[in-house]
Amino acid sequence: MTASLTETARDVADGSTTATRLVEEALERLAATEPDIHAWVTVAADGAREEARRLDAGPRRGPLHGVPVGIKDIIDVAGLPTECGSPLRAGRVAGADAWVVARLREAGAVVLGKTVTTEFAYFQPGPTRNPRDLSRTPGGSSSGSAAAVAAGVVPVAVGTQTAGSVTRPAAFCGVASYVPPVGVLSYAGVNPMCPSLDTAGYFAPTIGDLALVRAALGSWTDVPTARADAPRLLLMRGDELGPVEPEMADALERAVTALGAAGARITDAALRLGPLSDDHVTVMEYESAQTLRTELATSPEQLSDVLREMLERGSTTPGSAWSAALARATAQRDLVTGMLGEADAILLPAAPGPAPEGLDATGQPTMSRPFQLMNLPAVGIPGLRSAEGLPLGIQLVGHPGREAELLATAAWVEREL
């Protein structure tokens, strides 16, 4: 496992290491793990080495100076292919960096390469395996980004989320994750799927690392650290949203007990958000059919069955159903944010259970759909394990106007667990 991002950035700042050394170590780790894990679709070794040399020769650029990062292959990196896990994008080379990539570079990060995505960030898996158990899925759609961090190749990797494409892979691979509200981080330069739901997110080893990246992307003066006082949490056990496996249910109860013993005030959330899951599907299918209508019309044979069928459903979804789904989400969002005015976060599973066996599917995003539709930020917290030692991720969902406070609460939870 790689050192935390925070430790790595500190080592660069105090001269204990260099950007060049970090890039070489990342490339060595990639070469050692990639034959088994298949997390990367493009490795920009020469470009990363050149950028590291420039950073070592100049002044400190920012809080991520010299840190190698991975970028999901639906996000543009100048001079590298953006192929979106589809033959329909084969050979497409980006002419400019996406906004999030440009901001990472401004903070001093070095792009090591592009990570595997499912086809157009939907459900058709790529070749990536879970570093914790090679027989299991890493989740999706940000499969390669989660696996690259879990394998210790890079201390931060960028993904995207439309349903559960960051939160779920983080839970399955045992790393931390952050998904900001839609629109908070510009989506410019990212291949869209569903504008009402698409957002950039990212993975790192610890919650403190997530806070450092968010501060860098947002030009925050202060990096959020673990709060001193115990938080007020609303508990959802997840079965309101879909089946929860016994191992996850048991792990959540252990977490609740531990956090309560540490002083957290935990109450059951009087929320019934299950209908929003169906509304999320309606919005995603309707907007995706608009976004990918050319591909469906001209090259349906080059789409996977699962994606083509989704687009076909979306193309017959009435606009009235789409607008009604968004209206219900707005009403529920007002209710939930009102409750989060009195509590610090909602605590619930990040996935139904551990990563499923097999590589033919990426698991279900049931624990994320309603919150993504309501545009609420979510932090994935690693550390819990099944009896077999597989990661079991939990998440905190917070108020959209209090991202720093949410990250501070998540750091408290991580520390107490």
Give me the active site residues, please.
72, 141, 165
> Residue 140: left if φ>0, alpha if ψ -120 to 50, beta else—which one?
beta
Give kind and range of the element (H or E) at residue 393.
Answer: strand 391-397
CA 396, distance to chain mean position in Å, is 13
CA 312, distance to chain mean position in Å, is 27
Closest by Cα among 252, 251, 247 to 237: 252
Q: Is 100 within 8 Å of 54 (Cβ atoms)?
A: no
DSSP secondary structure letters along 186-216: --TTB--S-TTT-EEEEEESSHHHHHHHHHH
DSSP secondary structure letters along 22-90: HHHHHHHHHHHHHHHH--EEEE-HHHHHHHHHHHHHS---STTTT-EEEEETTB--TTSB--TTSGGGT
